[in-house]
Amino acid sequence: MEPDVAADPLVIKPPHVGILPPARPGLEEELEEIRAATLTMGEMVVMALDRAILALVKQDVALANEVIRNDVRVNQLQTEARNACFKALLTQQPVARDLREVLGFLHMASELERMGDHAVNVARVARDVADLPPVAAVAGIARLGRQSNALVREILVALVAHDVDQARAIAARDDRVNSIFRRTVDELIRFISENPDHAYRGTKLIGVAQNLERVGDRVTNLAEDLVFLETGQTEELG
């Protein structure tokens, strides 16, 4: 039976609902633009990761190509968020909490853009190995992808809710991602050693596992950003 990699669509309440107490009118409008672009990026990254993993499992070249094409929009949103952050810094001179939010979302947008790149890397491998016979280790990669993407979903929800405790808990769960990653790579190394003619495919799949493990690391970075945004304190959560 093929692994179930489908996931429910990410539902996040509109970023303007209950996000922050009012800032100065001009600054609040720019903060709203930054929040909206960043959270939309997050939704797109979740979808891209889901589809990239599904393309790998189903050996679906068309779906893999769709993930690659759609990354352009993620990059555009990252540019919009970055430009809005710079504009706010230059024209509004935010301080205290407002300054932390601008800087925090600037870094979050960068991390999400890189997660989108990881999804593209997975999709490229899916396309490259689509004509080759499937291997059992793909099931482990699907589990790794589901676990990593679940953390992305949850950190976005924690961001909207300003939930620092939840952010810390999410970062702690990256250990689970790392454990699945190690087991999957061990399985792929055994596959390569037992099937040297399939070393290309096995090596490509190890690269997929590495990309998905990095998604978990970037979620930890987002959790640290959220803690900083809410408390003004820098915490190492990894």
Structure tokens that stand for 186 in this block: 């061990």
pLDDT tens figures, 200-218: 999 999 999 999 999 999 9
Share of the chain above pLDDT 90, in %: 81
Q: What is the mean predicted confidence (pLDDT) over 34-61?
A: 96
Residues 6+ apart with CB under 8 A from 21: none
Confidence band, pLDDT 50/70/90 cuts, at residue 53: very high
Structure tokens that stand for 68 in this block: 């690659």
Does residue 211 come out as left (phi exceeding 0), alpha (psi in the -120 to 50 range) or beta?
alpha
In the chain, domain spans: 25-231
Structure tokens that stand for 32 in this block: 């709203």
Distances from the Cα of 83 to the Cα of 30, 44, 87, 108, angstroms: 10, 19, 6, 14
Structure tokens that stand for 115 in this block: 């997660």
Structure tokens that stand for 195 in this block: 């099937």
Is 50 exceeded by the pLDDT of residue 176?
A: yes
pLDDT at 16: 44
Residues 6+ apart with CB under 8 A from 224: 171, 234, 235, 236, 237, 238
What value does the mean pLDDT of the chain take? 90
Share of the chain above pLDDT 70, in %: 89
Higher pLDDT, 20 or 131: 131
Confidence band, pLDDT 50/70/90 cuts, at residue 1: very low
The pTM of the whole model exceeds 0.75:
yes
Class level of CATH domain 25-231 = mainly alpha
Structure tokens that stand for 143 in this block: 């589990």
Cα distance between the two ends of the chain? 35
Residues 6+ apart with CB under 8 A from 75: 113, 116
Burial of 204 (0-12, 13-18, 19+ CB in 10 A): middle
pLDDT tens figures, 72-120: 999 999 999 999 999 999 998 889 999 999 999 999 999 999 999 999 9
